Structure 1
Amino acid sequence: MRIVIIGGSGHVGTYLVPRLVRAGHEVVNVSRGQHSPYSPDAAWKEVLQIAADRTAEEASGQFGKKILGLKPDVVIDMISFELDSTKQLAEALKGEICHFISCGTIWVHGPGVEVPITENQPRRPFGNYGIQKAQIEQYLLDFARRSRFPATVLHPGHIVGPGWNPLNPAGHFNPKVFADLATGAEVALPNIGMETVHHVHADDVAQAFEKAIENWGASVGESFHVVSPSAVTLRGYAESVASWFGKKANLSFLPWEKWRLTVTEQEVQATWDHIAHSPNCSIEKAKRLLGYQPKYSSLESIKESVTWLFEHKVINVPSE
């Protein structure tokens, strides 16, 4: 099939594009042309690259027409963050494509009640990102039911892989936390460190997109969580990272109002978003209907990423 990926040069696209090429598909990558894949792969030589400024072309009402003009069988939208953006594209593609797959987020749920959270639990999103993604999901699945638009929505967790900073055990993205754990320096965690985060390796997310295409009848009109088999607690995460370096985690715990004074405002916002959600999501639906089988556990995917950070001197550990 001819598969057009919007935003295919990012974290997931780095793995998804080569997967699709090797599966025999004709792949077109639509992006701003400002980013190379995180990992090189010869398959990219077979990909047609189309430069586009989505924001500008949506403002002129041309983006959907541009994608349709590429004559896709399948469209994968990795980078729609607003409902109006998705609506414009879906309306342009209605009746013209075989499959439309949108990348969502597990933050569509907001705080969970029963865990692991399943896809059919009532949504209680908060924050602009989660609210917009929940609206996109609702629109696409309603559009699928009302108009037979062949939509599928996949909801990844905290995407991780070699080449970028993973969400760390303190719930933010400052890589110094990993250096401190590696050297036995004290790391303060909010509350008692029992909030959860749910990572997923970018290649496992790519696997889920490929499985959704392969299992069209089971995936159309549905949404699926795409995460590792299990979430991790902040405390367990920190202890595991320290153990990779032969250390015992030197942890302290502070009530939220005191902990937030120890980090930057940017880190406060990131951590609050993550611990307020504390995602812990089930993948049973994706396993049953799509045959999704993640290769990596949360800690395995994080370890690969952290190893890359140390090897490429993004994190420096002082010599003892």
Structure 2
Amino acid sequence: MQVTKRWGMLSAAFLAVALALPSGAAEPKANPKPKVVILATGGTIAGAQPKPGDVGYKAGAYPVSALIKAVPGIDEIAQISGEQIASIGSQDMTDAVWVKLGRRVNEVLADPSVSGVVVTHGTDTMEETGFFLNLVTKSNKPVVLVGSMRPATAVSADGPMNLYNATAVAVDPNARGRGVLVVLNDVVHYARETTKTNTTSLDTFASPNRGPAGFVLFGKVRWFSKPTWRHTTESAFAGAIPDTLPRVDIIYAHANVGPEYVQASLAAGAKGLVLAGVGDGNGTQALIEALSAAAKKGVVVVRSSRTNSGAVARNVELDDDKLGFVAAQELNPQKARVLLQLALTKTKDCAAIQEMFEQY
């Protein structure tokens, strides 16, 4: 009786083990790592020098696959895939590339299996592309722009570490809902806030008005306060990316400047103008008169400042009500241009556009 009972217990145990053993081909294991898609546009991070030690280089020389291979351990923090959107230096960024990139970002993020997107980009116009994506992305998933100040072939190239950190930020759950981000030199910036401040320094990006979003050191992220302005899913432009954007030019104020730049922009078909003004968004009397005349003809004119920080408030330096201008608030000229381009796809009413500059 004891033998029979013991045999039955052993048989049950062997059956359980047998059922647990794989039969034939093993079933594929689910990859627990989050999925990140890297969209490459070129830039210094993909740049190559003609020969070692050369100061000059060709931007966008390497494909996204090469960038990924150059980052040890990146596959340990995420499932990585890459797509080439463009292969240009960011000084050659165009509205057409913005439209293509913005639409692809929205398509990728609509996939439930994707946790975030990283965009490799040149640093020269990174803040503009980042702010554009901040306005048109229809998702609260992380979108992180990253670049480098040294080409991929340089001694002590900064691209691999930047890309590793950007990927770590893209998979961080606390990055969700913060809008589009920029990562360089161990610092996380809000795309709306940051600007390039130095020609060659690794520490070129700063957020002069409200400070950085956080820090990231060897893939470990420390966050600061969340943004208060409208972005991504709360933006009126989210997902509504037109085929083309209206022309908006920046008019740079300086001593003795006349009306000629305004006249040239209008002749070229500008629908909007942004004043990169001296001080608190001002300019010579001749320049202000030319801009006001353009505003009275239906061209939307936004006053910003060339000083790189601070706010241009309405009716402070100039009488915006009388002149027909919009005040850029905290947006620098290049970002004011981006918002005005998108605003003009919705309205030409200055009061409505002023409200956008208060919110975004």
Q: TM-score, normalised by structure 2?
A: 0.29
Larger RCO: Structure 1 or Structure 2 (Cα < 8 Å, ≥ 6 residues apart)?
1
- In terms of Rg, which structure is larger? 2
More helix by share: 1
